[in-house]
Amino acid sequence: MKKMKPNSIAIFHYNPVLPENGDAVYSYKANSDVVWLCGIVQEKTMVILYPDNADGTAQEVLVVQRPNEHLEKWNGHLFRKDEATAISGIQNVQFVDSIEAQLHLWMHHADTVYLNTNENDRLNTENPRIDLLFVHDFMKRYPLHHYERAARIMKELRSVKTKEEVEVTRVAIDITRKAFERVLQFVQPGVMEYEIEAEITHEFLRNRATRHAYGCIIASGDSARVLHYVENNRECKDGDLLLMDFGAEYGNYNADLTRTIPVNGKFSKRQKEVYNACLAVHNYCASILKPGINYADYINKVNMEMEKQLIKIGLISKADVKNQDPANPAYRKYFYHGIGHHLGLDVHDVGTRNEPVKEGMLFTIEPGIYIEEEQMGIRIENNYWLTKTGNIDLFKGIPITVEEIEAAMKKKK
């Protein structure tokens, strides 16, 4: 509220329930801004902030579904007002079916309106924007108000994590660690990718993860070069590498882990060489990602380190670099994605990409090397919390080096 303009109202609307086929609906995912503000994930939950409200009763308003005996028989318990206050800390709780008249009155007194929209840098804008349905309708009803983007404020606030947020994230990370250690004991030549996904899902559920943080990527052999491979239906063969990219969601916060392991438990000489080059880039990233570094400068430095490692393992030459097109540098043939992203309520969480990073931010580090001519893909990803003195690897202690992975796989029961 301190960042809002005088006499302004902010309306954080809920995500709708989306139809699938027939009378089925997609699994519900609450609006992350609403969850961040109030901690409630129940459908049709809204938050309204009006700090300059004349009588002071609507500075913070939580809007929830009205309890309905018939609906609860089908879908379960709905929060009563006192329960919603206990979770959110917001005293003024209203029901969504009666908020319209009150909001109409507040709008007549407010000058500026903040509305929340999805401004994630990676958003595919070709798809229909469900977040804009409410925005377009609201602006049509109140066309003469001044409108502001709540996303600019939320991006700044949500990108810096509190200790409490990191504590919840650590639980998601610990569950993910247990799943990785489980599959290290399970993987061997002949298993199917979907069987590995089943092992991960089993471990998630038995540790009370809410869900997978994103579609599980279990990519063996040449499939590892497909960044978002989700078919997970091939046999893991002797001599292949297996790239696994997965994470648990717990308490609305996400983990994001990638490891590449040998299906037979032993890296070949070439696989080890490429893996160590990728790990060297990962470690270099961790050594420079600290509060104060400009993210764009960080990316440039990392790309130069990747270039150096690719030369070292013979994938590109100094002549390739000298003669490269600056718009399409030589290293891009083998490393064609970003080095990481913000992590939090969303796996690709909101946050700046062109300013100095701040203490409290949570990032992934995930370099990869993908070699078409060798049918090989390697990616290594951990999650890092930036602190005053540097960063903390939240996955520290789980196998990451060639030697650690081979030793862990050798201990099969």
Which contacts of 136-144 are long-range, i.e. CB under 8 A and separated by 24 or more positions? 138/11, 138/113, 139/115, 142/107, 142/113
pLDDT of 412 higher than 80: no
- Alpha-carbon distance of 404 to 172, in angstroms, equals 22
Domain boundaries, the chain: 8-158, 163-410
Instruction: Tell me what pLDDT residue 127 has.
Output: 82
Amino acid 301 reads: K
Token pair for 308: 């150096």
Instruction: Tell me what pLDDT residue 413 has.
Output: 54
The pTM (predicted TM-score) of the whole model is: 0.95
Closest by CA position to 12, among listed 101, 80, 96: 96
Residue-wise pLDDT for 72-116, tens only, equals: 999 999 999 999 999 999 999 999 999 999 999 999 999 999 999
Per the CB < 8 A criterion, the answer to whether 321 and 284 are in contact is no
Residues of the chain with pLDDT > 70, as a percent, come to 100
* Helix residue ranges, H only, 242-294: 269-288
**DSSP β-bridge partners for residue 260:** 243
The strand ranges marked E within 150-272 are: 211-212, 217-220, 241-246, 248-250, 253-254, 257-262
Domains 8-158 and 163-410 alike in fold: no
Closest by CA position to 222, among listed 246, 241, 197: 241
For residue 257, the surrounding DSSP H or E stretch is strand 257-262
Instruction: Tell me what pLDDT residue 125 has.
Output: 81
Residue-wise pLDDT for 258-288, tens only, equals: 999 999 999 999 999 999 999 999 999 999 9
Decide if domain 8-158 falls under CATH 3.40.350.10. Answer: yes
The strand ranges marked E within 287-330 are: none
- Under the banding of pLDDT at 50, 70 and 90, the label for residue 124 is confident
Residue-wise pLDDT for 45-82, tens only, equals: 999 999 999 878 899 999 999 999 998 999 999 999 99
The residue with greater pLDDT, 260 or 126, is 260
Instruction: Tell me what pLDDT residue 177 has.
Output: 98
Per the CB < 8 A criterion, the answer to whether 19 and 25 are in contact is yes
Instruction: Tell me what pLDDT residue 234 has.
Output: 97
Instruction: Tell me what pLDDT residue 386 has.
Output: 97
By residue count, the chain amounts to 413
Mean pLDDT of 28-55: 95
CATH topology of domain 163-410: Creatine Amidinohydrolase (3.90.230)
Residue-wise pLDDT for 204-258, tens only, equals: 999 999 999 999 999 999 999 999 999 999 999 999 999 999 999 999 999 999 9
Residues of the chain with pLDDT > 90, as a percent, come to 92
**Comparing 80-94, 123-137, 278-292, 386-400, which segment has the lowest mean pLDDT?**
123-137
Quick one: 233 exposed, middle or buried, by C-beta within 10 A (0-12, 13-18, 19+)? exposed
